[in-house]
Every structure is written in structure tokens, then in C-alpha cells.
């Protein structure tokens, strides 16, 4: 059996375990270690990284155990995470924040921790403490006043984004793995010095947390819902990508989404097991189509270019966000990332009724810059990578229609790849509602604490 299929079967076992009632014993053990008693828990939102493992984020209700242990959690827990991903001990922070609970079950050893003590994100507890977060984002040496923190997005073991507000001002704290904040800060400085509208840094990284000022403009997703972003010329997106400085080519390269489409296909198959054969055939066909088309020359690339990372002011891109993946790449992959995300929006919310017309408009212009067949095959890949994000959210049964709509978008893009034209490819409005989480990010960001 192929190694990919073997890994996929193991991850499907973990997915089934985390969706069952069995995780309660692991949740209970993790909470007991901090002096809390599990009262109730709800189904997890699942993060599946094909080939790397599965993580579940479980909302919990707790009561205090008496007497409390000496090393107890500082505040009442609201979530517990369980993962099958590797958690290198060398990357864990020192002290009480490093305490995790290991338990066999669900197809392998699982690691659990009480949020926010993510074992690979040492700066997350500080970023969610109002006083410490205010010090990181505003004034390390002073007392800037009452602060309010809100976690905007969280990818377990990978990164988080926290908003900290003091008065009328706000800062964004990017919480990263050990050693990642310095290189990302250097990327921001490189791009800002070249005139690219990335957010301004606030001081040096602290605890691998990068503090950023707000960038001006309106989120592109809002404009797409309002009128299909009618005032944004497609050429403006290409202009912004072409403004990335040549020095970006010296940065490490990150493979585009299409490079691992067969692995992402396994993730989609795990989220929609009834359609596994259909999905695997589609992933193989997309892979063949991508390999058969021309990517064009190597150029400076954003690497995650879609509506969630773009702010717009007066028809211009005023904020380019999430530059972690900036490096050598291909224009067609950035444009396909944008198109693949755009096409699934109507399946996310019926309010995106203007998107089909906008998609036709963007495709017709992007076709003049890159190979239309390459654009559609790579857009198909991006859309397929988004299937698992819909199917693995909390209450995934209600989100199956959304996941299926993304699958159909990928199939339609692949079909259009052989005969590109102005016809829009778009997912229909789904019935899935987002979980009532404190923060939201866009389509691929499947769940936020």
C-alpha cells in the first residue's frame, strides 16, 4: 500500500476517534492535571494536516477541584486540544506552561493541553493576558491602560493571531513557533522598504510574538459581499504582486498548494468519506493537469494571496497581510489562490451573490497574464484544499453541503481547464453556519478559539 494511503488511513482513525465520545477521558485527564473537573464538552473543530496529523479543539465546561494543586491553571479553561501531530519536546516552553498529557488511543499516541498553553507556541499565554499583551503591542515599559484581547485565529501548534485593544487603538499579535518571529519581521521590513503596503512592525519580537499596527482599508471580503468589489480592477492585484521586490527571490521557497494536491485530496476524502473515490480521482486528475501546464517564470510571490489577506482603499490595495510565505514562486499560483478562494465564497454564505460576476471579471483579466489552463488547474487544486476545512468544523454534519460545493467548484475548474473562457465557476449557497467563535478568519481558517 502506498505510504500516502497508509498515513491517510491512520489519520482517518484519529478523526473518527476525535469525533466519537472517547476523547472525554483524555479531556478529563488533561484538566485534572490543572485542578479542574470536566463538567461538559462539545464536539471539536478538527484541523487535519494531511501527512502531519490531526488536532481537535474541544470547548469544555469545568468546575474547580478542591484542593487546587500548587501548579494550577491561572484562569478557568474554555478549551482543550488533542493532537496526533508530533510535538518535539525541545520546542516546548519551560516551566508550568510546558505541561502536556500523553495518552494512547485513536490509532497512536495523542498529546493534550489546556488552551492556551500550546506546547509549540510559547508566546500564546502572554498574548492572551491583557496586561502582558498590552506590553507587547503598545508599551513594554509602561502601563498603557485597560486592554482587551481577542484571539482572531488559531492554528494549533503552528500560529495564532490575537487582537489587543487599548482605548481606540489596536495591535495585532502574531504568535509564532520558536525562532520564526525574527525572519518574519525581516520580511516585513524588506517589503515596507520597497513600498509594499504591509503592516508596520511595533518594536522587536517578544517571546516569538510579532506586534503589528493596523493597516488601513476595508477587507476585500466585505467589498465582495457588498457589490463584488466592483471598484477594484483585476489589474490592481497583478500590480501589487509585481511590486514585490527582487530581493524576495533570495528567500526560502515554499511549494504552492497544487504541489501536494494528492495529500490534500486525502484530507478531503477523510472529511467526505462517502465521496473518497471521487475525490482521489479528482486529485490525481488535477495533479496531471498542473504538471501538464506551464507555470511561467519564477518571480517574487506572496504565497497565500486571497481575499482574506487584502485590504482595499479607493480601489487600491492598501494592506497586504500574512506575508509568512513570501518568496520565490509563480504569478499563476498567486492568481489561482485568489480565484480558488473567490469561487467557493457563495457556498460559504448566500450574501456573496455578486461573486459569480466578479469571478468572471477577474478570470478574463488574469487570463491575459498567465496560461488560462494553468490558472484553472491550479485554482481547482486550491478549491480542493478547502474541502476539509468545511467538513471538519464543529457540527460538520451541517457543513457537508458547503464541503460538497467546494468539491464541485474544483471539478468545474478542472473541466474548464481544457476550454478556458469567461464562464464563471462558483459554488452555490450552502446551509452551513459558522460556529459562534470569538474571532473569524476566512475560508481556509477552519476554526478559531
Q: Are residues 151 and 288 in the same domain?
A: no
Q: Are residues 270 and 354 in the same domain?
A: yes
Please say whether the beta carbons of 325 and 304 come within 8 A. yes
Out of 196, 213, 230, a domain closes at 213
CATH number at residue 200: 3.30.200.20
Strands (E), 137-176: 147-155, 159-166, 169-176
Which sign, positive or negative, has the C-alpha torsion 219, 151, 201, 332? negative
How far is residue 21's CA from residue 98's CA, in Å, rounded to a whole number? 27
Instruction: pLDDT tens for the chain, 449 residues: list them.
Output: 466 666 777 788 888 899 888 899 999 999 998 889 999 999 988 998 888 889 999 999 999 876 655 544 458 999 999 999 988 863 444 444 445 665 555 456 899 999 999 999 999 999 999 999 999 998 765 555 689 999 999 999 999 999 999 988 999 999 999 999 999 999 999 999 999 999 999 989 999 999 999 999 999 999 999 999 999 999 999 999 999 999 999 999 999 999 999 999 999 998 899 999 999 999 999 999 999 999 999 999 999 999 999 999 999 999 999 999 999 999 999 999 999 999 999 999 999 999 999 999 999 999 999 999 999 999 999 999 999 888 666 554 557 889 999 999 999 999 998 665 545 566 654 433 333 232 232 333 333 33
Q: Are residues 271 and 167 in the same domain?
A: no
**Does residue 422 belong to any structural domain of this protein?**
no
Out of 169, 189, 213, a domain closes at 213
Which sign, positive or negative, has the C-alpha torsion 406, 407, 412, 415? positive
Supply the DSSP symbol for 69: P
Q: Are residues 222 and 357 in the same domain?
A: yes
**Does residue 392 belong to any structural domain of this protein?**
yes
What does pTM read for this prediction?
0.87
**Does residue 129 belong to any structural domain of this protein?**
yes
Please say whether the beta carbons of 64 and 37 come within 8 A. yes
Number of domains in the chain: 3
**Does residue 84 belong to any structural domain of this protein?**
yes
Q: Are residues 193 and 281 in the same domain?
A: no
Q: Are residues 301 and 189 in the same domain?
A: no
pLDDT for 74: 57
pLDDT for 64: 87
Q: Are residues 147 and 165 in the same domain?
A: yes
**Does residue 386 belong to any structural domain of this protein?**
yes
Q: Are residues 200 and 58 in the same domain?
A: no
Q: Cα–Cα–Cα angle for 448, 429, 272, nearest 5°? A: 65
pLDDT for 65: 73
Distance of CA 191 to the CA centre of its chain: 22
Out of 182, 213, 244, a domain closes at 213
Please say whether the beta carbons of 285 and 75 come within 8 A. no
CATH number at residue 371: 3.90.1200.10
Kindly write down the DSSP assignment for every residue of 349-393, as one continuous string.
-TT-TTHHHHHHHHHHHHTTTS-HHHHHHHHHHHHHHTHHHHHTS
Instruction: Please provide residue 353's backbone torsions phi and psi, each rounded to the nearest 5 degrees.
Output: -70, -20
**Does residue 44 belong to any structural domain of this protein?**
yes
Q: Are residues 270 and 409 in the same domain?
A: yes
**Does residue 444 belong to any structural domain of this protein?**
no
**Does residue 424 belong to any structural domain of this protein?**
no
Q: Are residues 129 and 103 in the same domain?
A: no
Question: What residues make up the domain containing 29?
Answer: 3-114
Supply the DSSP symbol for 433: -
Please say whether the beta carbons of 295 and 194 come within 8 A. no
Q: Are residues 18 and 142 in the same domain?
A: no
Please say whether the beta carbons of 119 and 157 come within 8 A. yes
How far is residue 28's CA from residue 37's CA, in Å, rounded to a whole number? 7
Longest dimension (CA), the chain: 70
Q: Are residues 234 and 324 in the same domain?
A: yes
Take residue 182 and report the three cell numbers written for it: 525574527
Amino acid at each position: 500500500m502506498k505510504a500516502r494511503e497508509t498515513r491517510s488511513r491512520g489519520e482517518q482513525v484519529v478523526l473518527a476517534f476525535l469525533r466519537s465520545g472517547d476523547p472525554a477521558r483524555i479531556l478529563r485527564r488533561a484538566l485534572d492535571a490543572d485542578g479542574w473537573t470536566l463538567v461538559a464538552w462539545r464536539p471539536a473543530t478538527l484541523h487535519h494536516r494531511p501527512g502531519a496529523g490531526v488536532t481537535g479543539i474541544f470547548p469544555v465546561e469545568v468546575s474547580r477541584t478542591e484542593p487546587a494543586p500548587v501548579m494550577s491553571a491561572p484562569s478557568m479553561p474554555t478549551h482543550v486540544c488533542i493532537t496526533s501531530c508530533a510535538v518535539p519536546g525541545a520546542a516546548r516552553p519551560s516551566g508550568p506552561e510546558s505541561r502536556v498529557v500523553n495518552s494512547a488511543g485513536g490509532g497512536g499516541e495523542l498529546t493534550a493541553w489546556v488552551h492556551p498553553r500550546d506546547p509549540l507556541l510559547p508566546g500564546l499565554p502572554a498574548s492572551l493576558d491583557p496586561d502582558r499583551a498590552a506590553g507587547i503591542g503598545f508599551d513594554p515599559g509602561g502601563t498603557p491602560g485597560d486592554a482587551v484581547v481577542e484571539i482572531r485565529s488559531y492554528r494549533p501548534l503552528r500560529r495564532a493571531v490575537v487582537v489587543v485593544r487599548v482605548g481606540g487603538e489596536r495591535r495585532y499579535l502574531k504568535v509564532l513557533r520558536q525562532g520564526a518571529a525574527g525572519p518574519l519581521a525581516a520580511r516585513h521590513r524588506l517589503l515596507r522598504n520597497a513600498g509594499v503596503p504591509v503592516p508596520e512592525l511595533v518594536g522587536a519580537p517578544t517571546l516569538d510574538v510579532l506586534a503589528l499596527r493596523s493597516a488601513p482599508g476595508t477587507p476585500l471580503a466585505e467589498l465582495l459581499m457588498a457589490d463584488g468589489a466592483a471598484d477594484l480592477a483585476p489589474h490592481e492585484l497583478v500590480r501589487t504582486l509585481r511590486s514585490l521586490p527582487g530581493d524576495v527571490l533570495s528567500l526560502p521557497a515554499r511549494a504552492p498548494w497544487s504541489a501536494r494536491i494528492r495529500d490534500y485530496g486525502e484530507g478531503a476524502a477523510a472529511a467526505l468519506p462517502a465521496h473518497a473515490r471521487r475525490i482521489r480521482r479528482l486529485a490525481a486528475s488535477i495533479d496531471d493537469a498542473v504538471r501538464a501546464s506551464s507555470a511561467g517564470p519564477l518571480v517574487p510571490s506572496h504565497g497565500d494571496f486571497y481575499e482574506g489577506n487584502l485590504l482595499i482603499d479607493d480601489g487600491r490595495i492598501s494592506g497586504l497581510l500574512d506575508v509568512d510565505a513570501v518568496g520565490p514562486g509563480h504569478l499563476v499560483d498567486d492568481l489561482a489562490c485568489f480565484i480558488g478562494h473567490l469561487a467557493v465564497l457563495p457556498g460559504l454564505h448566500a450574501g456573496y451573490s455578486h461573486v459569480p460576476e466578479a469571478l468572471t471579471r477577474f478570470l478574463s483579466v488574469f487570463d491575459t497574464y498567465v496560461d488560462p489552463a494553468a490558472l484553472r488547474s491550479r485554482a481547482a487544486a486550491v478549491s480542493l484544499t478547502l474541502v476539509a476545512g468545511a467538513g471538519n468544523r464543529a457540527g460538520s454534519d451541517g457543513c457537508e453541503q458547503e464541503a460538497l460545493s467546494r468539491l464541485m467548484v474544483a471539478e468545474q475548474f478542472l473541466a474548464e481547464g481544457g476550454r478556458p473562457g469567461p464562464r464563471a465557476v462558483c459554488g452555490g449557497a450552502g446551509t452551513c453556519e459558522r460556529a459562534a467563535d470569538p474571532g473569524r478568519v476566512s475560508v481556509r481558517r477552519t476554526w478559531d478559539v
